[in-house]
Amino acid sequence: MTKTLLLETSIKGPMSVSHKIAQKVIAKVGGDVTVRDCTTIPAIDGTWIGAAYTPAENRTDAQKAALALSDALIAELKAADTVVIGCGVYNFGVTGPLKHWIDMVCRVGETFRYTEAGPEGLAGAKRVIVAYSSGGVPAGSGYDFATPYIKQVLGFIGITDVTVVAAEGVAVDEAAALARADAQIATLAA
């Protein structure tokens, strides 16, 4: 059975449109689902950076503890065949919780490395479906900084199979936005 990782990133929780879309995507693609509530992930800090850039064999117990959550998040990501990202748009970009997850999983030596030819992704090939919702920012428009950012970050760590399912215009007509997203979900392969 395939393994699916669901990233819940909205501070509105189950009331968010991105959550509703992500649940429908999960119902379509299935798999053994691991749910990660990203709203509990803290921001990285100087201690975390110091630990991440210390060679593993030289890390203190405190540094290992500082990286424990990052290690767990990276393991979840690497184990997944499919990743579903709930992505509400806040102020034209990704939510804070999604940014915190990204910062925790983008780690040199773990999900990418630098080579003479440039950066190389190490996260492994997998399918990503972004459950995008916005009050009025169309996905892919000049005002959408969320989906290009997500695609750039995922590409940097080696993940290039990214599909966006969008509920746009939620502030104008949520039912119509959800119907458009449902039509996109219907075309997804299981």
The pLDDT of residue 190 is 82
Question: Along the 190 residues of the chain, how does pLDDT read in single tens digits?
Answer: 899 999 999 999 889 999 999 999 999 999 999 999 999 999 999 999 999 999 999 999 999 999 999 999 999 999 999 999 999 999 999 999 999 999 999 999 999 999 999 999 999 999 999 999 999 999 999 999 999 999 999 999 999 999 999 999 999 999 999 999 999 999 998 8
Report the sign of the C-alpha dihedral through residues 73, 32, 189, 170, in that order: negative
Q: Tell me the whole-structure pTM to 2 decimals.
A: 0.95
Asked if residue 70 belongs to a known ligand binding site, the reply is: no
Residue 124: name the closest of 154, 152, 101 by CA: 154
> Which residue carries 């990660």 as its tokens?
36
The pLDDT of residue 171 is 95
Asked if residue 165 belongs to a known ligand binding site, the reply is: no
Asked if residue 88 belongs to a known ligand binding site, the reply is: no
Domain ranges of the chain: 3-186
Query: What kind of architecture, by CATH, is found in domain 3-186?
Result: 3-Layer(aba) Sandwich (3.40)
Asked if residue 94 belongs to a known ligand binding site, the reply is: no
Cα–Cα dist 126/176, whole Å: 30
The pLDDT of residue 107 is 97
Asked if residue 141 belongs to a known ligand binding site, the reply is: no
Asked if residue 86 belongs to a known ligand binding site, the reply is: no
Alpha-carbon torsion, ordered 31, 32, 38, 39, to 10 deg: 100
- Give the H/E segment covering residue 87: strand 82-88
